[in-house]
Amino acid sequence: MFDPTVFDNLKVVVEGYLYDLDLENNISITNRNDIVDLATMSRKCIITFSNVNRIDPAVNFEIEMSQKQLAGELLQTIKKPGCQLTVSFQEELKNSKYDEFLLKKLQKMWEEDHLIKLFITKELTSSSPVFYHQYQVSFQRRYGEDDLEELLNVVNQSVSLLKMMSKY
């Protein structure tokens, strides 16, 4: 019989929670990737969602379990295996002016314990300027099954931030 890992359990609960939000028309799930990386022997799940009836802006909610954590759990050499979490807020704009309010909100909510980065890229081959803005929060701790409530709280905070993201 298959014994699910911490990654499998967290992924199923988070996916179910996000799909429930989709069914309730709070968000719209636009993409899902479930990746088994054979080169690094790691697992990753990325769920992309946006506001209802809009694909921009969007959130990538990424849960990943490294080979070290996965092997440690399966071989029972790690007491508390866990997954890494990265949340990215993305939008496409016609200028490079970033959403200062969103950046400050992310810093206020999560910067104390987590790494926050802002990437702005310009598409040079487009006839009109297109800028891609990505606000990335890399959580600097591992999440295990005991942290499920906190993980779902991050989902709720991400949904709230998505709804307040502005367009320029």
Q: Domain spans of the chain? A: 6-164
**pTM of the entire predicted model:** 0.90
pLDDT tens track for 119-162: 999 988 878 888 999 999 999 999 999 999 999 999 999 999 99
143, 149, 153, 155: CA torsion to nearest 10: 60
Question: How far apart, in whole angstroms, are the C-alpha atoms of residue 94 and residue 56?
Answer: 13
Q: Percentage of residues in the chain with pLDDT exceeding 90?
A: 70
Q: Which residues of the chain have pLDDT under 50?
A: 1, 168
- The answer to whether 70 touches 97, Cβ cutoff 8 Å, is no
